[in-house]
Amino acid sequence: MTGDRMKDYLPICRADMEKRGWDQVDFAFIIGDAYVDHPSFGPAIISRVLESAGYRVGIIPQPDWKDENSIDIFGEPRLGFLICAGNMDSMVNHYSVSKKRRSKDMFTPKGEMGKRPDHATVVYGNLIRRKYKNKPVVIGGIEASLRRMAHYDYWDDCLKRSVLLDSQADIISYGMGEHSIVEIADALNSGIPVEDITFIRGTVYKTRSTEGLFDHIMLPSYQELCDDKLNYAKSFYIQYCNTDAFSGKQLVEPYGKSTYVVQNPMSPPLTQEEMDKVYDLPYMRNYHPCYEASGGIDAIKEVKFSLISNRGCFGGCNFCALTFHQGRIIQTRSHDSILREAEIIIKDPDFKGYIHDVGGPTANFRQPACKKQLSKGVCTNRQCLFPKPCPNLEVDHSDYLQLLRKLRELPGVKKVFIRSGIRFDYVMADPDETFFREMCQYHISGQLKVAPEHISDTVLKTLGKPENSVYNAFCKKYAAINKKLGKPQYLVPYLMSSHPGSTLKEAIELAEYLRDNHLSPEQVQDFYPTPSTISTCMYYTGVDPRTMKPVYVEHNPHKKAMQRALIQYKNPNNYELVHEALELAGRTDLIGFDKKCLIRPRNMKDPAYKRKTRSDVKQKPSRKLTEEEKMYDISFEKYEKIQSAERERSRQNNAKRRKNR
C-alpha cells in the first residue's frame, strides 16, 4: 500500500481518484463543510495526516443526505468511512442562541444555508448504514468529540445519548485526532475487526460487556441521568476530572443492561516535533477550485494569512469546551515551523504584507502552565489562573516575544497582528512589561479585543474568570502604555449576558459600568449552552457540578433578552426591554435625565405625564431650575428634536473615531 502522494487537492470525485491512478480509496471522508485544504480546518489535517501515513483518502464534502448515492461517488472504500460535521457543531452553525435559523453559512459556497443537516454526524452515520451495513464508520471533529458521552442538547432541550449510538458509528476519534486516527487506520489495515479496536487512546467505543476492563470508572447509567439532573451533574464532573492524558481513567457509561459506551483516556499531547510535522504537510492552503465559480468559501478569509502557534488552553473558562477537546496542556510549534509557513504566506499573490494573527485558543500561551504537567498532567482539583494564579504557574512571554520579533523582520511583512484572544490576567501576572509594551507598539490595529465577559464578581466566579479588579488594572495599564507610546488605541471588551449566576441585578451592574466608562459595545454574546462545558451543565442542572451548590439560571427568553438589552442600553431598539428590566428590578432611579440614568422617561405624549412633571417643576419656584428639570417642562416635539440631534452628533463622533483608527 502506498499513499501515491502528489501536490494537489485530495480527490473529491471518481475522476480525481483515477487521475491519481487509484482504483479504490482506503477511506471516504464525509464532511459537513465545503472542502478547504488548510491547517485551520480539522478535516484537512486528518486527511493529510492519513495521507502521510500512506492511506488513500477521498473527500465527500456536503453530500445530499437525502440521497444514499451521494456517499458512493468513490464506490465502497477499502477500510471504512470517516465523518466530520465540520469545523463547527452543526447546530451552532445553523442556529443563533435564540434558536432562530441563521441566514449564512461561512463554510459553504455563497454562504448558502442548508447544505448540511441538523445533527450532521448522526444523519451522515445513518445515511452510511442504509447503504453499507457492516462497513467501519469512524466519527470525529468538534461535534462528535463534545457529544461523545450523554450530553445536554440545548436545541432539543433534552439529555441525549452518546452520539456514537445515535449515529450507528463504530468508534469516535475524540479530541485532536492525529494520533488516534492513524492507529485506527493501522488496526483496520492489519485486519482487526472494528469491534475489537478497543485499545486506542483518544477513542470511544461501544461494547456489550465490561469484562476485561481494568481500572475504569463506572458512570451513572443513561436512565439514571434522565431520572435526576443531579446525577448528570455528578457524572459530568467525573468526566471533567478525567480529560487529562496523564491522569485520566477509562470511563464507562451504561445504556440498558447490555450496552456500554467506553471512553478511553485522551491521546497524549503532541510533541513539538509532531506538531511541526502536522503543519508542514502539503496543504494547498485554500478552498477547492470547484468553488471558484461560486465565489469561494468565506471562512478561509479569516485564517488564510494567520498562523497557528499553539494548541490547548489552561485558562479554564467554564463556558469553553477546550478542556474536553484540546485539553489543558499547551502544545506548541517551533519557531522554524511557523517561519516556514509565514514564508509560504508571503509568496501568496493576495498577501498585502499583513499577518492577521499569530496564536491559537489563547495567543499568549506558549508553554505549559508548569513543568509538572509534562509528566503528571494537570491538577484535577484546581485551576491554573482561577480564582487566583496558581503559585506554581510559570508566567513567561519571552518565547512568544522572540517569535513575534522574527516574524516582524521577515521581508515583505508590514505588520503582525494578534487577533486571537489574549489572557489579560496572564499578562498582568507577568512582572516583565516587555510583552505588554511591544504588543501595544507593534501588534494592535488600533483596538485590542479582550474578553472580561462580565464585571460582576458574582458572575465572574461562575464564568471561571478573574475578579473585575484584574481587568480594571489591565485597562489602566493598557491606557498608560498607549499614552506613553503616543498611540490612540482602544480596548474592545467581549461581554456575555445571561450566563448562569447572572440576574437582572448583575446585568444592571454591568450596564452601569459601561455607562461610567463610556463604553458602547457593538457586539454582545448571549450565553450559548453548547455540549460539554461546565456552564452548560449549570444551565441544565441548576447547580455547579464542582460543588453541587445551586446556581441561578435564567431560562426565560424574554428575561434573557432584557439582560442582553441592558448591555446595549443606548440602542433605541432596546428601549422597551431596558425600561421593563429597570422597573422589574426596582431600579427606576436609572430612568430620568440625570447623567447617571441609563434611559430617558417614556410616554411623554401622555397628558397625565406632562401634568405630573410640570406640577413637580412648579412646586419649586424659589430656586432656579436645573437643566434636567427644564427638560421636563419642554414639549414632546422639542424633546424629540433634542434627542435626534444628540444621536446625530454621536453618529458623527463615532464615524470620526473609526476614521482615525
Measured distance CA(458)–CA(468) in Å, rounded: 10
Distance of CA 192 to the CA centre of its chain: 36
Could you give the C-alpha distances from 139 to 14, 144, 159, 199, 628, in angstroms and in order? Answer: 23, 6, 20, 17, 64
Least Cα distance to 604 among 591, 594, 595 occurs for 591
Task: Say if residue 208 is exposed, middle or buried (CB neighbours under 10 Å; 0-12, 13-18, 19+).
Answer: exposed
For residue 661, what pLDDT is reported? 59
* DSSP secondary structure string for all residues of 537-567: HHHHHSEETTTTEE------HHHHHHHHHHH
Phi, psi of 515 (to 5 degrees): -60, -50
Cβ–Cβ contacts within 10 Å for residue 382, how many?
11
How far is Cα of residue 444 from the mean position of the Cα atoms in its chain?
22
Does residue 569 have a pLDDT over 50? Answer: yes
Q: Tens digit of pLDDT for each residue in 184-232?
A: 999 999 999 999 999 999 999 999 999 889 889 999 999 999 999 999 9
pLDDT of residue 655: 73
Which helix (H) or strand (E) is 461 found in, with range?
A: helix 457-463
Lowest mean pLDDT among 194-208, 468-482, 575-589, 622-636: 622-636
More confident residue, 533 or 653: 533
The predicted model gives 272-289 an average pLDDT of: 97
| Residue range 58-83, pLDDT digits in tens | 999 999 999 999 999 999 999 999 99
The mean pLDDT value for 498-518 works out to 96
Backbone angles phi, psi at 15, to 5 degrees: -60, -40
Helix, strand, coil in percent for the chain, rounding step 5: 40, 15, 45
Determine the Cα–Cα distance for residues 21 and 15; give it in Å rounded to an integer.
10
> Is pLDDT at 3 greater than 90 in this prediction?
no
Structural contact between residues 526 and 564, judged by C-beta atoms closer than 8 angstroms: yes
User: In which band, very low, low, confident or very high, does the pLDDT at 641 lie, cut at 50, 70 and 90?
Assistant: low
Across residues 361-369, what is the average pLDDT?
A: 95
Region 39-49 average pLDDT: 97
pLDDT digits (tens, 9 = 90+) for 467-497: 999 999 999 999 999 999 999 999 999 999 9
Interatomic CA distance for residues 342 and 661, integer angstroms: 26
pLDDT tier for residue 2 given thresholds of 50, 70 and 90: very low
Residue 652 has what pLDDT?
Answer: 78
Residue 336 has pLDDT above 80, yes or no: yes
Phi first, then psi: give them for residue 416, nearest 5 degrees: -120, 115
Can you read off the three cell numbers belonging to residue 484?
506613553
Q: pLDDT band at 626, cuts 50/70/90? A: very low
Q: Which range has the worst mean pLDDT, 223-227, 376-380, 400-404? A: 376-380
pLDDT at residue number 603: 63
Q: What was the pLDDT predicted at 129?
A: 96
Q: Which residue has the higher pLDDT, 652 or 186?
A: 186
Reported residue count of the chain is 661
CA distances from 498 to 187, 208, 525 (A): 47, 42, 9
DSSP character at residue 452: E
Kindly state the DSSP code that residue 317 receives in the 8-state scheme: -
